[in-house]
Chain A
Amino acid sequence: MTTYIRAGRPGRRDVLRLGLGAGLLSLTAARSRAQTTTKPDVVRIGYLTAARAWVVGKSDGSFDKALGVKVEWVPFPSGGPALSLLAAKQIDFAIFGNTPIVAGLSRKLPIQILGSPEIVATSERLVAKAGITTLRDLEGKRIAVAPSSTMAFALEALIRINKLDASKIKRLPLSQPDTIAAWKRGDIDATYINGPFWAELLADGGQQLLVSEQLQPSGVFVWNSAVVRSEFAEQFPETVVAWLQTVQAQFDRYRSDPEGVSRILAKDFGAPFEAVRNTLSGLRYPTFQDQLGPKYWGDGPVAAKDAPLIKALGDAAAFLAETGEIKRDDVPASFVPAVNYALLRRAFPS
């Protein structure tokens, strides 16, 4: 019986040849890509599958025009998958949350931070069922929060800052659409959730207890950073500069016409216009010039050690190490070198 089966299979040599062939093919492919030219063949931009103001440049080809190369847009549902895409070199640029970025840097993912164009203000909110009116009421309650999100980080910070008894608060890791279902069934008492999801909960009798912006005086910042693969930044610095300026141009466009940009994005993402407009207005958009100042990253030639966002990166790392998501030994001694100030300054000279 064994001989009968074997007759139909490819021989040992065929398999070897096939393997060798595939190996050689991938090697040559890798080599051709490594050739240094001033411009890449294609720029791959990763973006969150939620409406974000700068993505308005996707549908009208602004980035293709400004960069002078073919642009591919790669969606990702959250920061975790974005890290995987960067590690696999499937995207060159992305804008996503500071918590996953800290996790990536701790894992020695070769990426560099390019500022913080989106600061979470009111887009992430703590919403509770009617009857829960103060933060203290949360003790003994169940709070849903998307795992490995900036909201999870903010929730822990909120518990710490307000000296709530963490052991009495049950945190349930739930994706945001699932949170809505759990809320409707009465399986949870509160949730820290992003727009547009909270709109539905507030309409359902939910009470807003807090927005992320209110944590800023205590030094808790939640934001989205632009990142670039280090290898890409070394090879094509000019493209990075052009990309940054194009990102800023999209934010400028949003500032002058929030309704129009929201309408375009609503169409692009297939989301209700109201939801998109509310989500976008829940973020603050400091210009890159502002970001290179003392309120964010510091105004020196490199990021300042005691700049609020450098400190916040350290806090996020400490939080992740404490919860056991990353190894304490993996946390870099300083996040200052992770910010590519040279390219930021070149794109936005003071």
Chain B
Amino acid sequence: MNASRRFLIGLAAVAGVTLAWEIAGRTHLVEPLLLPPPSEIVTTAIDLARDGYRGTALWQHLALSLARALGAFAAATLVGVPLGLAMGAAPGFGAVLDPFVQFLRPLPKLALIPLVILWFGIGETSKVLLIFISAALSIIVGTAAAVSTVQRQRIRAGRALGAHGLALFRYVILPHILPELFVTLRLSFGIGWTTLIAAEMIASDAGIGWMVVNAGSYLRTDVVMLGIVILGGTGYALDLALVGLQRWAAPWSGRA
């Protein structure tokens, strides 16, 4: 199935679901309080774009959430990839860190909130840190796993051909792990993005994640749905950006 056909089918599916949803709302098949129809969400979007939500413009909420998530993700990549590489390349080092990483990784990050507040306060540090932790741990595990799949023969062959140290990494290991590394980054970004809501529960008064939680406590389901659409759409767009980056950086993905 070619790409444009896939896209069209996807588009038709979205349009179909949106239409059915609107009809269900209009005919009161579903209570609008429980699931506001798309038209109401559009109206709310226009209202909020004009007046802002709780004194902050809608784009500022999004910009703040993006800054928190992307900042944390960038830091997680910078820390996680080298650590993961080291863990994969040096099994002894990996064995030392592994129990800690595996213990922390599956922890629900909500459980960390009280400690994060005690240790790092209620400022931006705590919010970014929470996203950082969840993204970095997945990156470490994914990267280490990718490195461990490099076949011994390839490394031996590289060495036999005179490659050592950086050259071995650059021409043998990196090309092998890059596709998998991108998969790891995509998954980790998703995990980091889902932590946004937890992060923005710490003494926030702005951000899309906070908006969803706050609106929910006042039964503003229209604002909640709008927030979900924004969160989902932004996450989707950023994932597409990562896929684009992968095509550029590792065009051999899926072909080697």
Q: Do A and B form a real pair?
A: yes
Binding site for B on A (CB under 8 A): 2, 78-81, 83-84, 87-88, 100, 103-104, 107-109, 144, 147-148, 171-175, 177-178, 181-182, 184-185, 187-188, 320, 323-327
**A107 partner, pick from B55, B204, B220, beta carbons under 8 A:** B220
Please determine whether A325 and B220 come into contact, CB atoms closer than 8 angstroms: yes
Please determine whether A104 and B55 come into contact, CB atoms closer than 8 angstroms: no
Please determine whether A109 and B122 come into contact, CB atoms closer than 8 angstroms: no
Please determine whether A324 and B55 come into contact, CB atoms closer than 8 angstroms: yes
**What would be 8 A-B contacts, judged by CB atoms less than 8 Å apart?**
A78-B217, A80-B216, A81-B217, A83-B219, A148-B218, A174-B203, A178-B113, A324-B51
**B218 partner, pick from A173, A182, A188, A326, beta carbons under 8 A:** A326
Given contacts A173-B204, A178-B203, is CB(A107)–CB(B122) below 8 Å? no
A325–B51 Cα distance when bound, in Å, is 12
By size class, the interface of chain B is: 20 to 34
**In chain B, residues 14-70, which have Cβ atoms closer than 8 Å to a Cβ of chain A?**
31, 33-34, 47, 51-55
Minimum CB–CB distance for B125 against chain A, Å: 11
List A contacts of B220 (CB < 8 A): 107, 325-326
Given contacts A87-B34, A324-B55, is CB(A177)–CB(B218) below 8 Å? no
Please determine whether A187 and B121 come into contact, CB atoms closer than 8 angstroms: yes
Please determine whether A178 and B202 come into contact, CB atoms closer than 8 angstroms: yes
Given contacts A2-B1, A173-B204, is CB(A147)–CB(B217) below 8 Å? yes
A185–B114 Cα distance when bound, in Å, is 12
Please determine whether B121 and A100 come into contact, CB atoms closer than 8 angstroms: no
Given contacts A80-B216, A147-B217, is CB(A185)–CB(B54) below 8 Å? no
**In chain B, residues 62-114, which have Cβ atoms closer than 8 Å to a Cβ of chain A?**
113-114
Apart from A103-B219, A104-B219, 5 more pairs, CB < 8 Å: A107-B219, A147-B214, A174-B203, A178-B122, A185-B118
List B contacts of A174 (CB < 8 A): 122, 203
A56–B34 Cα distance when bound, in Å, is 32
Please determine whether A182 and B122 come into contact, CB atoms closer than 8 angstroms: yes
Given contacts A80-B217, A148-B218, A178-B114, is CB(A325)–CB(B33) below 8 Å? no
List A contacts of B214 (CB < 8 A): 147-148, 325
Minimum CB–CB distance for A229 against chain B, Å: 13
B205 interface residue, CB < 8 Å from A?
yes
Given contacts A84-B219, A320-B218, is CB(A108)–CB(B33) below 8 Å? yes
Given contacts A79-B217, A173-B203, is CB(A87)–CB(B33) below 8 Å? yes
List A contacts of B202 (CB < 8 A): 178
B150 interface residue, CB < 8 Å from A?
no
